[in-house]
Chains A and B, each alone.
Chain A
Amino acid sequence: MKYLAQQTINALQLGSIYALIALGYSMVYGVLTMINFAHGDVFMLGSFFCLLLIAIVPVPFWLALIVVMGATAILGTLIERFAYRPLRNAPRVSAIITALGCGLVIQNTTLGISPYARPMPHLLDNVTYQFGGLTVTTLQMIIIGVSVGLMIALDFLIGKTSFGMAMRAISSDRATVSLLGIPANRVIAITFALGAALGGAAGLLYGMAYPVVSAAMGISVGWKAFVAAVIGGIGNMRGAVLGAFLLGGVEVMTVAVLPSTYRDLISYSLLLIILVFKPHGLLGKPTLQKA
């Protein structure tokens, strides 16, 4: 019992990080029906921006989080403006290739500047608490807390504000929204900024939790978060969060009760089965594809 509780805490930490990244994929897909494959690398830059910031001025955790989210938001907007917007009406394949290209540019630029893995300095005192044999660290609580906080804020933004309404409107019909006088370009740019900021926050938290930072770290986590977004129903924010916690949970729990060699086999088979029965993901709605 204690063992499973400990594994649940592990799953929550992993799921929170997947969720923050998955939201970025899902938001962009929601407004543009395009998959932003550069997102995993924006996530990676979140860690590197933090390293850079601390190297210049030692700042407390909260400030670092705000600065990193700001920096990745600006980066997200720039990517949208200069790489994706010119291709918005181009065939979808071109947009996907551009996104992959952007990711590779970011990754290889980082690799050029910092080919070696770097240690992430401690941003806060990490205290380990014992609750009757259960181990929980300050860091784990912060990661789960910050992630859940950001997700609630996003849910409020999308569901309760006029900006959120514009975003949802664009997602259902971009052409009509522009006719109604809603500044679609601005809303799309802000959506990218928000998605990138969440990715940056995830990068920072991930760097703190797994304190060796390298240029290739975005690849594997980015793919997993993308899978989580698809499982939850890409384009649906609550679905992305659900998918992320599900993926984190399945990964940890297969290791917990089965030989760890089967982890990816079992977790991805399970996810495939979900897609067979729910092809649009858990919370995704079937939409008519425009030819």
Chain B
Amino acid sequence: MHKPLRAGLFLSAVLSLGTLLVTSCQPSKPSVKIGINAELTGEMPAVGASCKQAAQLFAEQVNKEGGISVGAEKLPLQLSVVDNSCKADQSAAAAQRLISQDGVLVMVGPNASSCAIPAGEIAEALGCLMISPWSTNPKTTQDSQTGKPKMNVFRACFTDRFESPVLAAFATKNLHAKTAAVLYDVSSEAPTSQSVLFKEAFEKAGGKVVAMETYTTGDRDFSAQLTKIRETAPDIIYLPAPYNDTPLIAAQARQLGIKAPFLGSDAWSSPDIIKLDAGKNLEGSYFCNHYSTEAAAPKAKQFIADYKARYGSEPDDVAALTYDAMGQAVQAVSKAGKLNRSAVRDAMASVRAFDGVTGHFVYPEGAREPAKSAVIMQIKEGGFHWVSTVEP
């Protein structure tokens, strides 16, 4: 390469870098920064993808309409998306980064309870409002020492304390189940709390849990536990496993000749569960979910149409709940009227009702989670079908 040419290239590189620096340093109009702490990689990438897409759709829509009213101004919404790898430590690190480094006003996410619990500790310590769209574990919003509600952590979904009894009641009343077996991941937060609460509710309703079997994250072979369950011949099997483990468990159960229907938690709700269930072993199974595209309110219908137009697929419950969490965050910011973390938190705590795409939210005084309806869905002919809605 000729010397002048090389010098020219070097000069242009320096210049372009300079312009980049100058443009990024320009004082810009303040924006409302919301951090997204999502499971983009790791155990449940479909969950993270839905969360990110819904948040982006929300931001685009808000910015198209001129932004968020804060005090007298309308400010643009700016997203900062960080991957938490679906791991507890990385979720905490992601929360730390969003709050301390990116300076977000509100953090939306994480979704998985195993991630939302540690991230919530960080949000609480740093005094930043966090809204988890999908974490149903009661511990997420509880102070680990006192057991009282955390100051800064809220959620857009109901908790396992509501979900598990709903499923147990469905099993005993609608499916007339008298005995149940439970198989769950003992190293994961949500399935463990759901299983314990399901057992409690099922036995209170007069049923009997004949087998409580466990495995650990990463296991693929469930034959030993399922063979044990087969011996107890349960009427139903409760599998609060994520969408990517469930098809494996179901296939192995059917292979062993277990014919009992499966019941699942809201962790089943990704459409990927049907894609991964090549053997159609989940056909006819039921699960509890946050909303259904089939029984959607007008507001939800609009969201579903927008989401479909933007991404070409139906929004799952994580997407819908993220959209609601974003809505709540923006409502709190508008209500606070200033870009101040503690004012936004106080505004969020004073909200008593919110009309979301996943239903009508009612926040009782001091509660961090809304009282809202759940739906029972069935997997039938390669899709999710609405069965019933259960009001709180």
Contact = CB atoms under 8 A, between A and B. Distances in A.
A256 B45 contact: no
Contacts of A211: 247-248, 251, 278-279
27 contacts: A3-B231, A6-B227, A7-B224, A13-B221, A111-B41, A115-B41, A117-B276, A118-B276, A119-B275, A119-B277, A122-B278, A206-B220, A210-B248, A211-B251, A211-B278, A211-B279, A212-B244, A214-B244, A216-B43, A217-B220, A251-B224, A252-B223, A253-B224, A260-B224, A260-B228, A261-B214, A264-B216
A220 to B, nearest CB: 4
A278 to B, nearest CB: 26
Question: Interface residues of A: mostly helix, strand, loop or mixed?
Answer: helix
Contacts of A137: 255
A7 B223 CA distance: 8
Ranked nearest first, the 3 interchain pairs of A and B with the lowest CB-CB distance are A220-B218, A255-B224, A10-B223
B114 to A, nearest CB: 15
B46 A135 contact: no
Given A211-B251, A264-B216, A119 B276 contact: yes
A256 B220 contact: no
Contacts of A38: none
Contacts of A263: 214-216
Contacts of A7: 224, 227
A116 interface: yes
A111 B41 CA distance: 8
A120 interface: yes
Contact of A116 (B214, B248, B272, B279): B272
Nearest to A130: B257
Contacts of B255: 126, 128, 135, 137
B256 interface: yes
Contacts of A212: 220, 244-245, 247-248, 276
A11 B224 CA distance: 8
Given A211-B248, A252-B223, A261-B214, 16 more contacts: A11-B224, A111-B41, A117-B244, A119-B247, A128-B255, A135-B257, A206-B220, A209-B220, A209-B221, A212-B220, A212-B245, A216-B218, A219-B218, A251-B224, A260-B225, A263-B214
Interface residues of B, number: 37
Nearest to A252: B224
B260 interface: no
B186 interface: yes
Contacts of B279: 122, 211
Nearest to A115: B45
B65 interface: no
A115 B46 CA distance: 9
B213 interface: yes
A116 B278 contact: no
A135 B256 contact: yes
Interface string B88-130: 0000000000000000000000000000000000000000000
A231 interface: no
Contact of B220 (A6, A210, A251): A210
Given A128-B257, A212-B244, A216-B42, A120 B228 contact: no
B219 interface: yes
Q: Which of B224, B257, B272 has most chain A Cβ within 10 Å?
A: B224
Contacts of B245: 212
Interface in A140-195: none
A128 B218 CA distance: 26
Interface in B36-81: 40-43, 45-46
B223 A13 contact: yes
Interface string B27-43: 00000000000001111
A3 B215 CA distance: 20
B221 A14 contact: yes
A251 B251 CA distance: 20
A7 B43 CA distance: 28
A101 interface: no
A121 interface: yes
Interface in A1-25: 3, 6-7, 10-11, 13-14
B218 to A, nearest CB: 4
A48 B218 CA distance: 17
B319 to A, nearest CB: 16
A117 B272 contact: yes
A102 interface: no
A221 interface: yes
A272 B277 CA distance: 38
B275 to A, nearest CB: 6
A6 to B, nearest CB: 5
A260 B223 contact: no
A120 B227 contact: no
Nearest to B258: A135
Interface in B224-248: 224-225, 227-228, 231, 244-245, 247-248
A276 to B, nearest CB: 24
Contacts of A216: 42-43, 218
A210 B256 CA distance: 14
Of B227, B244, B248, the most chain A CB neighbours within 10 A belong to B227
A21 B356 CA distance: 50
Nearest to A117: B244
Interface string B198-227: 000000000000001111101111011101
